[in-house]
Chain A
Amino acid sequence: MQPRVPAPDLAQPRTEAEAPPPTRPPPPRPRRALARLLRPLRPQLLFSWLPLLAGAVLWVYALPRIGFRSMGDYGLLDRFPVAFYVALALLTCGFLAAPRRAGTAPWWPAGYCVALLVALKAPPAVLYDSVRYPWASKHDAVVNQLLLNGELRPNGALSGNMSAYDQWPGFFTLTGGLVRAFGVESAAVFLNWAPIALGLLMMPVLVLLYRTFTEDWRLVWTAVWIFQLANWVGQDYLAPQGFAYLLHLAVIAVVLRHFVLPGSAGRLRDRSYLDPASAAVPPPTGTRQRAVCVAVLAPLILAVNAAHQLTPVMLCVSLFALTLTRRYRNYGLLAVAALIMLAWDLTMGRPLFVETLGTLRDSLGELTENSRAGYAGELTGPGPELAGRANVLMVLAVAALAGAALLLRRRLVRGALPLLLVSVAPVPLFVVNDYGGEMLFRVYLFGLPGAAFFAAATLVPAVGDARHGLRRRAAALTLHLALPVALLALLAGFLPSYYGKEKMYYTPPAETALVTRAIDRAPDGALILATTGSFPQALHRYDRVEHWFFAEQELPENERMLADPARYLADRIPPGTDAYVILTRTQDIYAAGEGLLPPGGFSTLRSRLSVSPLFRVVEVHTYGIVLRYRPDAEGESP
């Protein structure tokens, strides 16, 4: 090893004694100062900061010009000004230049990834005067109820399985703690910022995960970038699943780094067997060290179980998949995770757990049913249809890019096999249950970290792997052409996937106020009827009133209902129940967009119920109507 010779520091002023001989005077100060000033303008640095700055300026300029109050068929897509799209393109260009220096200046790709996260997901948080995603207000209602009660009631047997939130309350108790500690009125104040907060916390965990399998920082940051573009599924709002997902990934990262069994790496220790970009297998750990790591992981696994019912299953399935490899055959950790899950399910989560076990017999093996997205209908309308097509294309694009790595980067895949296993492990869960029509999204989300990594591996060729002329040219072509095209295409796919159905997700505050008023008026024990639960404040006072979202069923049954909606509903309202029907604008958009009701079905429903003697109009508003069931008018009904 050569001794390290310190480089002369030209920037430091020298004392008189240290001054060089007069024959070689130092360059005049103004020139040095000028050089320092011009340093950021060197091409290498210029391409690092200029796109970021220009993108940020354009984004800030575009923000107040986003016409979210006047959304049409295409959601926010045609309401984003051109400057917004240019800002995203500039960030992509800047990012493409940044990873070249990722090894020595990681803050540039990191800065671009943070900027992309904010640019993509912050507009609703900054602009909206109400909760994004009407169903997110349910979680606000749960937190409010929890703070009001001051206790957990897992055996409350509330309608619509709302007691499940007291059975897996971890995320809501934490949010309640933050609401009180922040001194704000409710979680609605910060609810729209959840995707940004979760995205920021997720980023270092992803870096840690990817760094375990590659030494190539360009690959790491490209994978993080692709993860963000492919994370359009909308599971990162203020909800237990997004939070539990962060903890799940943290557990997996620790396992992959610290649970390698001694003597299990075999040929993976041989660099010539691996891809030049592969990282060395993490150092193996002894039994005592792994036991300590289990103790470190226990609070994380406990919190995953306290927060969400499905994520612990995903975690156990992932840990089981890892035991299939020689490197990570840790039955002890799997046993601990399974025991914690079982302990929670049989104590706090017992009511829903037992109920789910009862329905498993019906859903087991119903592959097509379990893998459907949402409830029943076909997406309807230009925006939702575009979003639906973009969703499918995005899944196919990410899968194709990741699949290409399995062929093109086989030596990298050898080293990263555990990540591949963890990513595909949740897929068999389609066989088990549909999870309220959401299993598809959850499986996609759990497969995404690995898919993003392998997709990035396809697009970022290894540096030292291209000695032959042809291979070198192919690598250059991939890096300079395929990578930019793929990132821009994924960006183009993200926007309709995330914002194409935005008209369903933004609810004017006046509609929220209408619903709140209506439910506040309903006496305890009343039944609230609505076409779907996707409207703001749908579950306001959920422990005092019952709910029936009567159009959340197959389309043919809804068509039967529309023939005589008043009779259909009246026949199914339990005798002696005080029932209210709430029909709002957001329900109309959601029911039409998701294809729950046929075109014009909602207005038919509204007009027929309004004129029926079985229902009395309580309040009519631009954004909806509230009706009350009149059991005494049964004789007047035709």
Chain B
Amino acid sequence: MTWDHLRLRLPLALAGWGALAVTALPGGSPLRWVPVLLFVCFGPGLALLHPQRGTLRPAARIEALALAAPLSLSLAVTVSTTLFLVRGFSATAFLVTLAAITTVAAALPGLPLPAATWGAAGRRER
């Protein structure tokens, strides 16, 4: 794994744990809610979409930016609803689950959306 890979993946992998750490700050403080909001809205999605081989093509960059939030929030909905269904909801459980998903996703190759990697059907993968 090169430095370029790590430079992107390491912050993503640690983002969730950082968001969890700032929940120790007083409630309602911007130092607490801003990182949490950014992580919940973008963290898991970026970790799933962004780590690709080589540089993302411009179209794929727009796509990763646009889909990061919907994907992140979908995962957040699934996690929070599941936690309520099993009566295990707490802020810590919510953030720990999302942070763990993000860390694992950041270590894996990015989701293979065609705009990012494969190109047209029938073309050989580069």
Chain A positions within 8 Å of B, measured between CB atoms, are 146, 150-152, 169-171, 173-174, 176-178, 180-184, 189, 201, 204-205, 207-208, 211, 243, 246-247, 250, 253-254, 257-258, 262, 282-286, 289, 292-293, 296, 299-300, 302-303, 306-307
**Cα distance A300–B73 when bound, in Å?**
9
Beyond known contacts A182-B36, A205-B66, A283-B119: 19 more, CB 8 A cutoff: A152-B81, A152-B85, A170-B77, A173-B81, A173-B89, A181-B33, A182-B27, A183-B26, A183-B91, A201-B69, A205-B70, A211-B59, A257-B115, A289-B118, A293-B113, A296-B111, A303-B73, A303-B74, A306-B81
> How many residue pairs at the A-B interface have CB separations less than 8 Å?
157
Residue of A nearest to B86 (CB): A151
**Cα distance A472–B69 when bound, in Å?**
41
B122 touches A262 (CB 8 A): yes
Residue in contact with A174 in the complex, picked from B19, B62, B80, CB distance below 8 Å? B80
Report which residue of A173, A250, A302 has the largest number of chain B beta carbons within 10 angstroms of its beta carbon. A173
B78 proximity list for chain A (CB < 8 A): 170, 299, 302-303, 306
**Cα distance A253–B63 when bound, in Å?**
9
A296 touches B23 (CB 8 A): no
**Cα distance A247–B76 when bound, in Å?**
13
Chain A to chain B contacts (Cβ below 8 Å), 14 pairs: A151-B85, A174-B76, A177-B94, A184-B28, A208-B67, A246-B69, A250-B70, A253-B67, A283-B120, A284-B122, A285-B121, A299-B78, A303-B77, A306-B81
**Does residue B71 face the partner (Cβ distance < 8 Å to A)?**
yes
Say whether, besides A150-B87, A299-B71, A303-B77, A207 and B28 are in contact (CB < 8 Å): no
Say whether, besides A181-B40, A292-B112, A150 and B89 are in contact (CB < 8 Å): yes
A171 proximity list for chain B (CB < 8 A): 77
Say whether, besides A184-B28, A286-B122, A250 and B87 are in contact (CB < 8 Å): no
Q: Which residues 75-126 of B sit at the A interface, judged by CB distance below 8 A?
A: 75-81, 83-85, 87, 89-91, 94-95, 111-115, 118-123
- In the assembled complex, the CB of B84 is this many whole angstroms from the nearest CB of chain A, namely 5
Question: What bracket does the count of chain B residues touching chain A fall in?
Answer: 35 or more
Residue of A nearest to B85 (CB): A152
**Cα distance A293–B63 when bound, in Å?**
13
B121 proximity list for chain A (CB < 8 A): 262, 283-286, 289
Residue in contact with A173 in the complex, picked from B40, B69, B74, B84, CB distance below 8 Å? B84
Residue in contact with B36 in the complex, picked from A169, A178, A204, CB distance below 8 Å? A178
A283 touches B81 (CB 8 A): no
A289 proximity list for chain B (CB < 8 A): 112, 114, 118, 121
A183 touches B41 (CB 8 A): no
**Does residue B6 face the partner (Cβ distance < 8 Å to A)?**
no
Chain B positions within 8 Å of A, measured between CB atoms, are 19, 23, 25-29, 32-33, 36-37, 40-41, 59, 62-63, 65-67, 69-71, 73-81, 83-85, 87, 89-91, 94-95, 111-115, 118-123
**Cα distance A173–B111 when bound, in Å?**
26
Say whether, besides A178-B40, A184-B33, A258-B115, A211 and B62 are in contact (CB < 8 Å): yes
Residue in contact with A177 in the complex, picked from B27, B69, B71, B91, CB distance below 8 Å? B91
B41 proximity list for chain A (CB < 8 A): 201
Residue of B nearest to A257 (CB): B115
B40 proximity list for chain A (CB < 8 A): 177-178, 181
B69 proximity list for chain A (CB < 8 A): 201, 204, 246
- In the assembled complex, the CB of A186 is this many whole angstroms from the nearest CB of chain B, namely 11
Residue in contact with A207 in the complex, picked from B36, B62, B75, B122, CB distance below 8 Å? B62
**Cα distance A355–B54 when bound, in Å?**
53
- In the assembled complex, the CB of B29 is this many whole angstroms from the nearest CB of chain A, namely 8
B80 proximity list for chain A (CB < 8 A): 170, 173-174, 176-177
Say whether, besides A207-B62, A284-B120, A293-B113, A182 and B33 are in contact (CB < 8 Å): yes
**Cα distance A223–B29 when bound, in Å?**
37
A253 proximity list for chain B (CB < 8 A): 66-67
B114 touches A243 (CB 8 A): no
Residue in contact with A283 in the complex, picked from B26, B77, B114, CB distance below 8 Å? B114
Residue in contact with A189 in the complex, picked from B28, B81, B95, B114, CB distance below 8 Å? B28
B87 proximity list for chain A (CB < 8 A): 150-151
A207 proximity list for chain B (CB < 8 A): 62, 66
A182 touches B62 (CB 8 A): no
B28 touches A183 (CB 8 A): yes
B77 touches A306 (CB 8 A): yes
**Cα distance A177–B37 when bound, in Å?**
11
**Cα distance A171–B84 when bound, in Å?**
12
B84 proximity list for chain A (CB < 8 A): 146, 150-152, 169, 173, 176
**Cα distance A183–B35 when bound, in Å?**
13
**Cα distance A293–B118 when bound, in Å?**
12
B67 touches A250 (CB 8 A): yes
- In the assembled complex, the CB of B119 is this many whole angstroms from the nearest CB of chain A, namely 6
Residue of A nearest to B28 (CB): A184
**Cα distance A177–B85 when bound, in Å?**
14
- In the assembled complex, the CB of A259 is this many whole angstroms from the nearest CB of chain B, namely 10
Say whether, besides A211-B62, A246-B70, A258 and B27 are in contact (CB < 8 Å): no
**Cα distance A302–B74 when bound, in Å?**
8
B74 proximity list for chain A (CB < 8 A): 247, 299-300, 302-303
A169 proximity list for chain B (CB < 8 A): 81, 84
Report which residue of A174, A254, A258 has the largest number of chain B beta carbons within 10 angstroms of its beta carbon. A174
Residue of B nearest to A287 (CB): B121
A205 proximity list for chain B (CB < 8 A): 66-67, 70
- In the assembled complex, the CB of B91 is this many whole angstroms from the nearest CB of chain A, namely 4
**Cα distance A493–B108 when bound, in Å?**
49
**Cα distance A595–B94 when bound, in Å?**
45
**Cα distance A243–B81 when bound, in Å?**
15
**Cα distance A207–B41 when bound, in Å?**
18
A299 proximity list for chain B (CB < 8 A): 71, 74-75, 78
Report which residue of B81, B112, B115 has the largest number of chain A beta carbons within 10 angstroms of its beta carbon. B81
A182 touches B32 (CB 8 A): yes
Report which residue of B23, B28, B77 has the largest number of chain A beta carbons within 10 angstroms of its beta carbon. B77
**Cα distance A327–B118 when bound, in Å?**
19
B112 touches A181 (CB 8 A): no
- In the assembled complex, the CB of A264 is this many whole angstroms from the nearest CB of chain B, namely 11
A178 proximity list for chain B (CB < 8 A): 36-37, 40
